[in-house]
Homo-oligomer: A and B are copies of this chain.
Amino acid sequence: MEATTDAEGPLAESLAFRLTVLGGTMQREFALHLKEAGLTPKHLGVLNVVDRALARTQDDVATLMQVTPGMVVRLVDRLEQRELLQRRRDPVNRRRHILTVTADGARVLATSAAFAATLDAQLVATTGTALAGQLDQALAALMRTLTGSR
């Protein structure tokens, strides 16, 4: 009766489960790196989507990052205090806050990109260049569905 436990293969071999585990490990690395700046991975995520023009307003950020509007407020609050992000009212629709990354914000993104590059180097060293290239393609395909096929 072991068909009950492994009907679809063990959990540990699922793509989704391993993505969760490895994503958690990577997130921990980013968290450690960002700690000195008083930021979390989510703060970096906000900077990134705004910088990449995937999100223009707080509402955009909430939808794209799947977080509540209330959390976006707090994330943006801190980023604004640190002068990494700027809020300004949309003259066209005064309910909206348009977000822009400041020069300091761009610097945080650059530093984090450099840090990410060192993590990538470790990943490539583990998988080898061939597999890393294919990992890159697979992740790109998956990211496209998250950002709405852009």
Contact = CB atoms under 8 A, between A and B. Distances in A.
B16 A123 contact: yes
A5 interface: yes
Contacts of A116: 8, 11, 14, 16-17
A132 interface: yes
Contacts of A138: 127, 131-132, 134-135, 138
Contacts of A27: 20, 23-24
A131 B133 CA distance: 11
Given A7-B114, A113-B7, A126-B145, A139 B15 contact: yes
Contacts of A24: 23, 27
Given A138-B127, A143-B22, A29 B16 contact: yes
Given A8-B114, A113-B7, A131 B127 contact: no
Q: How many chain copies does the complex carry?
A: 2
Contact of A15 (B112, B132, B146): B132
Size category of the A interface is 35 or more
A117 B9 contact: yes
A73 interface: no
Q: Which of A28, A30, A124, A142 has the most CB of B within 10 A?
A: A142
A106 interface: yes
Interface of A: 4-12, 14-30, 41, 44-45, 48, 52, 66, 106-107, 109-110, 112-114, 116-117, 119-120, 123-124, 126-128, 131-132, 134-143, 145-146
